[in-house]
Structure formats: C-alpha cells, structure tokens
Amino acid sequence: MHTRPSDSVLLSVTGRDGPDTTARLTGLLADAGAELLDVEQGVVQGLLTLALWVRLPEGARVGESLRALPELARELGVTVDVRAVPPAASPEPGPEPLRYVVTATGKALGVRDVHSLTRELAAGNARVERITRLSETPLAAVELHVTLPADADPTALKGALLALSMASPTFDVALQRESLYRRGKRMVVMDMDSTLIRIEVIDELARAYGVHSKVAAITERAMHGEMDYDESLRQRVALLAGLDARVLHDLAANLPLTEGAETLIRVLRRLGYRTAVISGGFSVAAEALQKRLGIDFAYSNALEVQDGKLTGRTVGTIVNARRKAELLETLAKQEGILLEQVIAVGDGANDLLMLEKAGLGIAFRAKPKLREAADTSISAGGLDTILTLLGLTARELREVG
C-alpha cells in the first residue's frame, strides 16, 4: 500500500485506445516533473481505462503544470478527469490483508453469474482489486484478485463460493491463496478411474464377467463404512478369478478419456510439468494411459495372472488412500519438488489424503463431501479447467498448442 501525499493527483483517462495514448500522456507528465506513484491500464473492445497517480513537484500548481492536458486529451480522443488526492489519515500499521485469487469458469459467463459471484464476495467482506479475462470469445473464464481482512475466516468464503458453484451445473468457482507457488506449480498427480478416464475399470471387468451386481454390492458396503478399502478391493478382485486377461488388456487399450484430459497432459508436458497417475485401479490400465498420453509416472494395483487368467488376487502393496498420499510425497521428494508446488486431482474418498498432502487439492466431479474438504473443485468443466486455475490465458494456451 502507498501512503498518499497531500500534493498528489489522480488522472482517470477513458476513451479510444490509440497506439501512443499512454506514451504521450506520460510524456506530458514527465515534462511537468511529476513523480509516478501508481499506474493501472486496461483495454476492453478498444476502449481504454487508464489511471495515473502522480505527485507534482513541490510548490507546483496543477493547472499550470498540466495546462497542455486538455488539448492533448482532445487530440487523443480521450476524457481525462483530474482530481487532487487528499492526504490520508495515518493509521497505525497493521497486518497485511489476506490475498486470494477467485477463478470463475463456464461454457459462457453471463452477467448474472458475475453478479452472483461478486455479491458473494461482497457478503464475505472480500474486496475485488482486479478482474482479468482469461478466455477469448465467448467470455468463459475470469480471474478476480481479492483481499480479505487479516482476521477474516477464508473458510466461510470458500463455503459460500462452493455453494454458488454447486447451485449451477455450468459454473465453477475456485478460491486459491495468492502466493509465490500459485503459478509456480511443477507437478500434477491424478487419480485414474472417474477422473482421468470416464469409467471405473473394475466395474467394466465385472460387467464383462457377469458379476457386476456382486461387485457393486461390495462397493456400496464400503461406501457406507461397513468395510475398509483394502478388504473391499480384495473381495471385489476375488470375484474376477478366472476372467481371461485379454478382457483386461482390450479394455485398457480403449479407455474413454475424460473431457480435456489430452489437452491438459499435452500442455503440462510442453510447459515442463511432471505428471503422474496414482490410482487404486489396475496397473494394466494405468500403464496403458501412461504410454498413450506421455505421463511420467504411474502407480496402481497389479492383478495377478496365471495361465492367461486372473487369479482373483493382487500383487504387492495395495494402493489405498494412505498409500496414495505416501506416493505423492515420495515422488515430489524424488523430483526435488516442494509439496506446495504439487496439484492433486481426484474424485473419491480414497483421494482425500492425497489432495490434502498437495499444495492444491482439486475435487473433480466429486461427491459433496470431497468437494467440501478439497481446496477447490471442478464440476462443470473438463480436466483442462486446471490450466485456467493456473492462471493461463487462452492466448497463452494457443502459444503452446
């Protein structure tokens, strides 16, 4: 924050945007010996909004120092409002406000969406300092930089924004703490089933083997807390005993990707991110995706095969919720990446610990419980919405193909 001197003025410039508008205005100020204290400029549909806060030389009069300004403004086709900035009271220095970035995405953001969002921000005592458009036409993504009082509870604001996005099937709102690491992420770790792909592999295998109803019943019991994940996996896999392994390989060769998955991985690779699948699903599928998309690492459960048939058992340590979090931490350490620089994405309860371990945990098309626990969530958009949460604009995404 700047302290406001008594001899400062604010110039608010609006009108046609010309290639030399800012240059000529600042040239006039420079000739007047003005000291530039702050500047903000934006252009929307060829219309310029420019704010210049300057301090004039000691003893200078505004009218005399800027006598050429009216004629220059007419020549440039702009309107310039000049007003003295009164000296501010000198409050006792206090703690810095909390800084956050709110990202709103949708197929097309309407004025009602922006109104609903800014209304919730105002109700949460969040002050909007800057709004930036991330998308091109139509308006589909905006980023709002907001501040909260130092003693505010961001949890309440997060809850209000989550409720807002849950009320609309076409509108996602994400709240992130603004920090050095927000755009400094270096690794993205994803769940596989119902996240990177649109199906649950075990359900498809069970359906092919005629035991889907039995597998679904075990899944339902586990979801209600009647058994832990490890036991539910063992029981479900046991029902697949005798299934021809070719069914698994055929399924893995034709996995239906989630909307935006290919774009996400392609852009992340070109930007130098490390990518990983950490899944409670099966290795044949995870490794097929790794090869298909160029993912750096893949960790999942291995199904035992004998004589070309599934035995109904897994091999090695089961990748459960705790193991997922451990693998994320180990992988980040191995790659020399801070946890704050890791994004984790998942849809189920067994992804929660992994999401909590990462610097940014994203609940993707998840149940309400996980959405409430995660840092942020995506429900309306595809996986490529993650690129918007990184602050990448449509122009920047075009540059990387």
Whole-number Å distance between alpha carbons of 30 and 80: 17
DSSP 250-296: HHHTT--BPTTHHHHHHHHHHTT-EEEEEEEEEHHHHHHHHHHHT-S
What sections of 32-182 are H helices per DSSP? 62-65, 69-76, 111-123, 154-166
* Cβ-count burial 370-383 (b if 16+ within 10 Å, e if not): bbebbbbbbbbbbb
- Taking a C-beta distance cutoff of 8 angstroms, is the pair 79, 13 a contact? yes
Residue that is written with structure tokens 């996980």 in the block: 370
Give ∠ CA 318-347-291 in degrees, rounded to 5.
Answer: 65
- Taking a C-beta distance cutoff of 8 angstroms, is the pair 76, 16 a contact? yes
CB neighbourhood size of 13 (10 A)? 20
Looking at the DSSP bridge assignments, the partners of residue 128 are 146
Contacts of 122 (CB under 8 A, 6+ apart): none
- Taking a C-beta distance cutoff of 8 angstroms, is the pair 178, 99 a contact? yes
DSSP SS3 for 25? helix
- CA nearest neighbour of 282 among 305, 300, 297, 264: 300
- CA nearest neighbour of 343 among 305, 395, 378, 291: 378
- Taking a C-beta distance cutoff of 8 angstroms, is the pair 377, 102 a contact? no
Q: At what angle do helices 201-209 and 229-238 cross, to 10 degrees?
A: 30
By annotation, the residues acting in catalysis are 191, 193
Contacts of 339 (CB under 8 A, 6+ apart): 329, 332, 357, 358, 359
Q: Are strands 98-106 and 171-177 parallel, antiparallel or unpaired?
A: antiparallel
